[in-house]
Amino acid sequence: MQFGWTAGEEASFEVLDAFVDWGGTLIDTADVYSAWADDNDGGVAEEIIGRWLSARGNRDDLVIATKVRVQMGPWPTQGRETRHQREGLSRRWILKACEDSLRRLRVDHIDLYQAHTFDPYTPLEETLAAFTSLVQRGLVRYLGCSNFSAWRLMQSLWTSDVRGLEKFVSIQPDYSLASPTRANFERELAQVCQHYGVGVLPYSPLGGGLLTGKYRRGAALPDSARAAEIKPRMTEQNLDLIDELIAIANGRGATPGQVALAWLLVQPFVTAPIIGANSPDQLRELLPAASLTLSADEVDRLAKVSSWPKARTELDGHENR
């Protein structure tokens, strides 16, 4: 989502080159990225990736994932929700959005096509039937979702089962050591994913930068938009968490960000955290987390300063009753 926003095309190409040169295979984007940037109605990140794929010529070596649902452009017929027309995950919008993404990405198929958020205005049967038709036509290989609650994911899996439709094989939740919805995810959605074999691709695995070690207790915050977003989250608990990440990182010759990512990789339901980088240097700092295995003691130390012990106690108590 950084491409076309904090990273221009040249910088984006450098990030993508570095990623695949260091062994990366999954590139995740969305049609709406980066519609929030100036003079951008969305689709720019896909276009940049498409031009890079054409230049690199390595499409078959990669898993390309993108998403559909969020408003593209200013018009109701472009996915915007209005009183009269809501087409976020309607058949019409899904089919059109897929064709547009294929064109922008310059590929003949999408490996993982994901519902960006749940659409309460379109019957699930219509949404899943439209997705299934794309799979049957060879335009999409697998289906995923993002930002679905546990019961909405279960509803989707049940609908696919009873209607004989393609199923969601993955989900993207907001999940990290500092995620405000972490306890709910671990208590409910993670259990559904483990039981039904749904892959988990956490986004914002570093808490929007909170867990990188850049923001520390007693240190002045930089004058930036990101720092302004981080400031309300500098709670005593999160500051304790950052201190523990730093302590573990110092003992391992690692960085706090690497430790935070390594913690995610320890979780049995996590498939692959999604990191967003706008420079090769950021990738170089984060990718070593893939080979960093935390000890049981280190995992326990992080548990003690975050929300997991409370969530585990509540869950165990419910099961015991």
Instruction: Please give the positions annotated as active site.
Output: 33
Give the CA dihedral 84, 90, 94, 97, nearest 10 degrees: 0
Nearest-5° angle of CA 280, CA 234, CA 274? 35
Residue 142, token pair as written in the block:
């697998």
Residue 17, token pair as written in the block:
């080159």
DSSP, collapsed to helix, strand or coil, labels residue 3 as strand
DSSP codes of every residue in 100-123: HHHHHHT-S-EEEEEESS--TTS-
Phi, psi of 175 (to 5 degrees): -145, 125
Strand boundaries in the chain, DSSP class E: 26-28, 63-68, 110-115, 140-146, 168-172, 199-200
Which residue(s) pair with 113 in the sheet?
66, 143
